[in-house]
Chains A and B, each alone.
Chain A
Amino acid sequence: MGVRTWIEGWPVYRQLTGTDPLGRGAAAQSARSKGLSARTGTVDSMARSVCPYCAVGCGQRIFVTDGKVVQIEGDPDSPISRGRLCPKGSASKSLVTSDRRQTRVRYRRPFGTGWEDLDLDTAMDMIADRVLQARDATWEDRDSGGRPLNRTLGIASLGGATLDNEENYLIKKLFTALGAIQIENQARI
C-alpha cells in the first residue's frame, strides 16, 4: 500500500477533500463496507406484498432465495408508507420464518392430555364429517309460525380480519349455503 493510498484511505482526508463534508456517506466507507452488497440484490425473486399487522396497509417487498424468505423490507413505491415499516412490520420476516410456527397438524382427542400427530387429509375428512354431524343434529327447518329458518345453530366461527377478501368470500359463501349463520370476526370486537 503506497503512501498516497494510505492517506486517501483515511476518512478525515476524504471528508475534507471529497464530496461528503459531513462524513455520512462515501467518506466514511471502509474497504470492507465498500465490498459489501445488499442481500436483496442477489435474490431469486421478489414479491410485492402488504404488511399483515394493522390496517394502514404498508407496502412490503418480500425477497426469496432458495425457497426461503431472506428479507422483508418496506416498499418505497407505496404512496401510503413510502418505504417505512413500524417495529412489527420490520419484524415480519421472523413472523414468516419463525421456527416456532406450527407446520404440522396437531390433534387433541376428547379428554386427552396432550397433542397427537394427525395426517392433513385425515384431519380434513374428520372435520367435514363433524360439520355435517353438527349440522344434522341441530338443523332447524321452520320457526314455530311455519316460516323458513333453513339453518343450524350448532356451528360457530370467529375470524377473518387477518384474512384475504377472497378467503372471507369463500368462508361466508360456504357457511351460508350450509345454513351456518353464527359467523363473526374481529369487526364485532
Chain B
Amino acid sequence: MAEAHPVGFQYVVEAKNRGARVIHVDPRFTRTSALAHTYVPMRAGADIAFLGGVINYILANEKDFREYVVAYTNASMIVGEDFQDTEDLDGLFSGFDPDLRVYDQSTWQYAGQGDVGQPEGAAHADRETASGLEQESHGPPVPADVPRDPTLQHPRCVYQILRRHYARYTPEVVERVCGVPRDQFLEVCAAWTANSGRERTTALVYSVGWTQHSVGVQYIRAGAIIQLLLGNMGRPGGGVMALRGHASIQGSTDIPTLFNLLPGYLPMPHHRQHETFRQWVDAIRHPEQQGFWANAEAYAVSLLKAYWGDAARPENDWGYGWLPRLTGDHGTYQQVLDMIDGRIKGYFLLGQNPAVGSAHGKAQRLGMANLDWLVVRDLFEIESATFWKDGPEVATGEIVPERCRTEVFLMPAASHAEKEGTFTQTQRLLQWREKALDPPGDCRSELWFFHHLGRLVRERLAGSTRPRDQGILNLTWPDEEPSGEDVLREINGFDVVTGEPVPNFTALKADGSTACGCWIYSGVFQDGVNQAARRKPGSEQDWVAREWGWAWPSDRRTLYNRASADPEGRPWSERKKYVWWDPDAGEWTGYDVPDFEKNKPPGYRPPDGATGVEAISGDDAFIMQGDGKGWLYAPSGLIDGPLPAHYEPAESTVRNPLYGRQANPTHKVYDRADSPINPRSAVYPYVFTTSRLTEHHTAGGMSRQLAYLSELQPEMFVEVSPELATERGLEHRGWAHIVTTRAAIEARVMVTDRLRPLRVDGRVVHQIWLPYHWGGQGLVTGDSANDLIGIALDPNVLIQESKAGTCDIRPGRRPTGGDLLAYVEQYRRRAENNDG
C-alpha cells in the first residue's frame, strides 16, 4: 500500500502514530513492511492456506462475534444432505464433472432447495461468460425461508461445515504451506481477533496481489469470511477494501467496458439463457426472492429507454431484440488468441497498452500483428502502437514490418486536464473534474472520438432498412457533441416526459416512463445538481465528509451499514456508532446515509409469501442478498466451490500439501501450443511474482515518458535474495535473465534481503520479484515482465494468474535474435522430458 497507493497509506501511518498495530504479510519486504510493526514473509500463491488458518483459529477458539454472526450471516442455515466437502473428496466438492471441469452446484444448496440448482450445462456457460459471480450483484437464486439452527449445533449448518472444512488448516499446516513460522502466524491471528468485536473493528485491504490468481475470487471470499465471522462488515473501520489501481477502474466496472456486463451490473444477454426479454429480466430478478434486485425490470427497461428512447416501446420489448448476444468466452485473452487465428479484423486500444501490460506479451503482439486495422488512442507513442517496427518479435524475426499487414491509426488523446468528467475512485466515490484547458493539436477526448465515430457510422447507414442496422439507427445519439454533464444526466436517469432528473433508483419504473443509463449511479444528478462536483473542504466537515463527491448507491459511503447497529437497531458500541434506529422519529439515522429502507423498523418481519423488498426483515443487513445474509458459505454462484480451499497456482514448484488436487480443478487455460504453461519441473525451480514501483504506473505509458519518474527508477531490475544469488552466481548490479516456457527477459540484478528463502513442505523455496513497468518505448526502456507470464485464468472472472509463476534465473544477458527463440524452446523441451 505504501508503494502503490502512498497517499492512502497516510492514514495507516496516522493510525500507527495513535497506537495502532500494523502487520504486513507479503512475499517481499516493501516500503509498507518498513513502516509496519511486524513483517510476515510468505510464499506467493499460498494465501488461502494462510487465511484458512485464520478462520480455523477463530472457530477453534470461538473468537467469532457470535451475536453478529447469528443475526447477519448465514452461519445458522442448514445445507442439503447431499453436499460433500473437500474433506470427503480429497480436494473436490460434490458435483464435479471431470470432462467439462465444472461443478453442478445443486448439491451445494440449502436444505430443501436442491431443486433450484442449475440447468444442465449452465455452470460451463457461466465460466465461459464470467457470469458465475453475478449472484454477488444480481442476487443469488435462493429463497428466504431456509431452515436454520440459531444454536449453530446442527451438523449440517454452515457454521459446523465451516469448522470441519478448515479444521485441517492448523498453524503447523500454515507453516508447511506458506513458509510462515507458527509463532508469527499465531501473532497475526491474536492481533486480528483481539482488534475485532463490539468495541473495535479491523479493516482488510487488498489489491491485485489477490485478484491475479487462478483462485483469486476465493482469496477475497476467504478474507470476507474472516471479516464476517469477526463482525467487521458494514461497520466503521472495518470491511474488505479493494485498493484498485487505475483512476476509474471502479467506474469502468460499474459502467462497464466489459464483455459480459451492461451498466449497473446488468448481464449482457446470452443467446441461450436470455433469448427473450422476459428470460433476461427474470434471470436478474429471480421472482421468488427478496432484496432490491427484485426491481431489476425497472432498471433494465430504463437502460433500454436510455439507449433507444422513443423507439423502445412495450411492443418491441423496449428494443431488447437489438442487443447483441454472448455465446461463450469473449474475454480479452480469448480475443488475443482469436487475433492470432485471424478471426478479428479491427481492434481499439483506449489508454491501454497490452504489448507491455497484459500477460503473455508475445501473444498480445503477434495478435496485433495479424489484424486488418488497429486504432491506438493514447497520449504517447506506446509499445502497442509500434510493435510492427521495433517490438521484441521484430528482433527475433517473428514480425517483419514489410510483411505485417496491420494498418495502424495512432490517435492522440486528451489528458485528464483537458476534459471534464467523473472518475470513480476505489471507494465508489464519483469525483467531477473541471476542464482546465483545451487539448493541443489533434488531441481529443474519448467523448469526442466516440460521439463523432457514432455520428459518422450513422450517416453512412442512414436510410438502411436492414434489420441489423436498426439498433444503431434508432440509438439516441445527438447530432451535436454532448458535454460531460449531458452524458452524466443520462446516466443519472430522467422522466421521459418532463426530462427532469430522477432523485434515485427507487424512482425508476418498468413502464417506460423513465430512462436511466446506469441505475446504481442514479442520484448523482439529484435535484438537477451535479452531486459529484461537490467540494466542501474536508476541514469543514465531519470524518465521513459526505459533502465531497458522491458515492453509489444513493451516496452511501459504507455499504451494508445496517450491520453497524445490532439487530434491535442500537449501535454495537458508543465507540463504533455509525447508523442506528431512532425509535422516536421512526427512522434510521446516523453519520452516513442508511443502507436500508429509511422507515423500516428493526422489528419488522415480512408477511408469509412476501418477495422482493417487502421480504427484507428489519434485521436483514445484507439487502442485496437473496436471503438477506452475509455469506460465509456460498450455496450457489461460485464456479469453483462454496468455500475457499487451498490449491497451488497453475505453475508451482511444490505438490499441494493439503489435498490430492494440485491446482484449482475448474481454472481456465487455453489448450494450444502458443499458450503454454510451465509444467512442475526442476527446469523452472523458482517462484516469481511482480508488482508496482511507487515511481511508475502499470505498463509505463504514463510514467516512462516522464523525465522525473524515469530518473527516479531508470532501469528494469530483478530482486533476488543473497542465498539465491550465491546459488545461481548472480552479481549485484550485474545482468541476469529470467526464463519461462514463453519467454526469456533480462534485467539488472538487485541482491537484497528484501527477499528471503522460505522453508516450504520440508524444502527451501526461493522467490524472485520483478517490477512490470518496462517496454521498448519511452525515456527508459527494458524487457517486459509480463512476457514471462502465462494465460491461466480464474474461472469466475477470467482474470489471469500473474502474481505467482515459476521460472529459472541465470547470470548474464539473454540471447538475442533467433537464438532467443531456440533458447526458450530448449528450456521447454527439457521441462517436457523432465530433464532438470
Q: Which residues of A contact B (CB under 8 A)?
A: 45-59, 62, 64, 67-69, 72, 76-82, 84-92, 94-96, 98, 100-115, 118, 120, 123-134, 137-139, 141, 143, 145, 147-174, 176-189
Q: Chain A residues near B539 (CB, 8 Å)?
A: 77
Which B residues are in CB contact (< 8 Å) with A106?
381, 385, 408-410
Contact of B409 with A123 in the complex, beta carbons under 8 Å: yes
Tell me whether B705 and A100 are in contact (CB under 8 A): yes
Does A67 lie within 8 Å of B437, measured CB to CB? yes
What are 11 inter-chain pairs, A to B, with CB distance below 8 A? A47-B436, A48-B434, A50-B416, A54-B246, A64-B437, A69-B437, A105-B409, A155-B348, A163-B248, A163-B446, A185-B258
A87 and B799 CA atoms in complex are apart in Å by 29
Q: Which of B58-66, B101-109, B326-334, B810-818 contacts A (4 or more CB under 8 A)?
A: B326-334
A165 touches B344 (CB 8 A): no
Cβ-neighbour of B538 out of A45, A50, A77, A158 (below 8 A): A77
B417 near A: Cβ within 8 Å? yes
B446 touches A124 (CB 8 A): no
Which residue among A79, A114, A178 has the maximum number of chain B CB atoms within 10 Å of its CB? A79
Q: Does B497 touch A at the CB level, under 8 Å?
A: no
- Residues of B within 8 Å of A134, CB to CB, are 345-346, 372-373
Cβ contact of B425, chosen from A57, A82, A133, cutoff 8 A: A57
Question: Contact flags (1/0) for B241-272 with A, using CB distance below 8 Å?
Answer: 00111111111111111110011000010011
Q: Are A88 and B433 in contact (CB under 8 A)?
A: no
Q: State whether A164 touches B412 (Cβ < 8 A).
A: no
Q: Mark B370-389, 1 if CB is under 8 A from A, else 0.
A: 00110101111100010011
**CB-based contact B422/A150 at 8 Å:** no
Query: If A79-B541, A170-B447 touch, does A84 touch B487 (CB 8 Å cutoff)?
Result: no
A94 to B624, CA, bound (A): 44
Establish whether residues B307 and A87, one from each chain, have CB atoms under 8 Å apart when the complex forms: no
Complex Cα gap A143–B339 (Å): 22
Binary contact readout B435-452 vs A (1 if CB under 8 angstroms, 0 otherwise): 111101111111101111
Q: Which chain A residues lie closer than 8 Å to B666 at the CB level? A: none
Contact yes or no, A105 B410, CB < 8 A: yes
- The answer to whether A177 touches B401 (Cβ under 8 A) is no
Among A55, A157, A188, the most chain B Cβ lie within 10 Å of the Cβ of A55
Instruction: Say whether B322 contacts A108, CB under 8 Å.
Output: no
Q: Which residues of B contact A126 (CB under 8 A)?
A: 409
Instruction: Known contacts A95-B706, A132-B461, A185-B257; decide if A110 and B446 are in contact (CB<8 Å).
Output: no
B345 touches A49 (CB 8 A): no
In the assembled complex, the CB of B772 is this many whole angstroms from the nearest CB of chain A, namely 11
Interface flags for B345-356 (1: CB within 8 Å of A; 0: not) read 111111110100
Q: Which residues of B contact A111 (CB under 8 A)?
A: 401-405
Would B325 and A148 count as touching, CB distance under 8 A?
Answer: yes
Task: Tell me, in angstroms, the Cα distance from A1 to B819 when the chains sit together.
Answer: 77
Q: Is the CB of A55 within 8 A of B256?
A: no
Choice from A62, A82, A124, A158 contacting B456 with Cβ under 8 Å:
A124
In the bound assembly, the distance between CA atoms of A86 and B694 in angstroms comes to: 8
Docked Cα-Cα span, A179 to B470, in Å, equals 11
Structural contact, B252 and A186, CB atoms closer than 8 A:
yes
B415 at interface (Cβ–Cβ under 8 A)? Answer: yes
In the bound complex, CA of A127 to CA of B332 (Å): 21
Asked whether any CB of chain A lies closer than 8 Å to the CB of B798, the reply is yes
> Which B residues touch A131, using CB under 8 A?
346, 453, 457
Q: Given A51, A64, A100, which contacts B247 in the complex, CB threshold below 8 Å?
A: A51
Do residues A47 and B434 form an inter-chain contact, with CB atoms below 8 A? yes
Interchain CB contact under 8 A, B431 and A57: yes
Instruction: Known contacts A103-B442, A186-B249; decide if A165 and B412 are in contact (CB<8 Å).
Output: no
Q: How far is the CA of A67 from the CA of B410 in the complex (A)?
A: 25
- Of the candidate stretches B1-9, B112-120, B191-199, B221-229, the one touching chain A is B1-9
Bound-state CA distance A57–B271 (Å) is 39
- Tell me which of B452, B535, B702 contacts A53 (CB under 8 A): B702
Contact mask for chain B residues 1-45; partner A; CB cutoff 8 A; 1 contact, 0 none: 000111110100000000000000000000000000000000000
For residue B709, CB closer than 8 A to chain A, the reply is yes
A89→B403 CA distance, assembly (Å): 41
Question: B462 to chain A: closest CB distance in Å?
Answer: 12
B255 CB contact (under 8 Å) in A147, A151, A172, A178: A172
Pairs A-B, 4 closest by C-beta atoms: A57-B425, A79-B538, A164-B421, A159-B350
Partner of B257, one of A56, A110, A145, A168: A168
Q: Are B257 and A91 in contact (CB under 8 A)?
A: no
- Given A167-B445, A172-B262: A84 and B7 interface contact (C-beta under 8 Å): yes
Kindly provide the distance from the CB of A91 to the nearest chain B CB, expressed in whole angstroms. 5
Contact among B258, B407, B697, B707 for A88, CB-based, below 8 A: B697
Contact B472 A187 (CB under 8 A): no
Chain A nearest CB, measured from B585 CB (Å): 28
CB nearest to A114 among chain B residues: B389
Q: Which of B243, B327, B435, B490 has the most CB of A within 10 A?
A: B327
Report whether B702 and A57 are in contact in the complex, using a CB–CB cutoff of 8 Å.
no
Q: What is the minimal beta-carbon distance from B6 to any residue of chain A, in angstroms?
A: 4
Q: Is the CB of B436 within 8 A of A45?
A: yes
Q: Which residues of B contact A148 (CB under 8 A)?
A: 271, 275, 321, 325
Q: Are A166 and B484 in contact (CB under 8 A)?
A: yes
Query: Which partner residue on chain A sits nearest B268 by CB separation?
Result: A181
Establish whether residues A161 and B248, one from each chain, have CB atoms under 8 Å apart when the complex forms: yes
Point out the residue from A98, A102, A160 that lies within 8 Å of B706, measured CB to CB: A98
Q: With A67-B437, A188-B332 in contact, do A103 and B252 touch (Cβ < 8 Å)? A: no
Query: Which of chain B's residues have a CB closer than 8 A to the CB of A58?
Result: 7
The answer to whether A163 touches B351 (Cβ under 8 A) is yes
Residues of A within 8 A of B338 (CB): 153
Interface residues of B in 782-831 (CB under 8 A from A): 797-800
Residues A87 and B709 in contact, CB atoms below 8 Å apart: yes
Q: Cα distance A90–B709 when bound, in Å?
A: 10
Q: Taking CB as reference atom, which chain B residue is nearest A79?
A: B538
Most buried by A among B247, B262, B472: B247
Q: In whole angstroms, what is the CA distance A86 to B307 when docked?
A: 40
Q: Is the CB of B327 within 8 A of A160?
A: no
Q: Judge whether B604 is part of the interface by a CB distance below 8 angstroms.
A: no
Q: Chain B contacts of A86 at CB under 8 A? A: 6-7, 694
- Asked if B240 lies at the interface with its beta carbon under 8 angstroms from chain A, I say no
On whether the beta carbons of A149 and B271 are closer than 8 Å, the reply is yes
**Residues from chain B with Cβ under 8 Å of A150 in the complex:** 321-325, 468, 471
B631 close to A (CB within 8 Å): no
Is A49 a contact of B248 with CB atoms below 8 Å?
A: no
Closest chain A residue to B484, Cβ basis: A166
Nearest-Cβ distance from residue B474 to partner chain A, whole angstroms: 8
CB distance from B670 to the nearest CB of A (A): 15
Chain A, Cβ-Cβ closest to B351: A162
Q: Which residues of B contact A153 (CB under 8 A)?
A: 330, 338, 343-344
B412 partner residues in chain A, CB cutoff 8 A: 101-105
A78 to B538, CA, bound (A): 6
B389 touches A56 (CB 8 A): no
B573 to chain A, nearest CB (A): 25
| Measured CA separation A111–B399 after assembly (Å) | 11
Asked if A154 and B415 make an inter-chain contact with CB atoms under 8 angstroms apart, the answer reads: no
Question: Contacts of A62 on B, CB cut-off 8 Å?
Answer: 417, 436
Instruction: Give Cα A162–Cα B423 distance, bound, in whole angstroms.
Output: 8
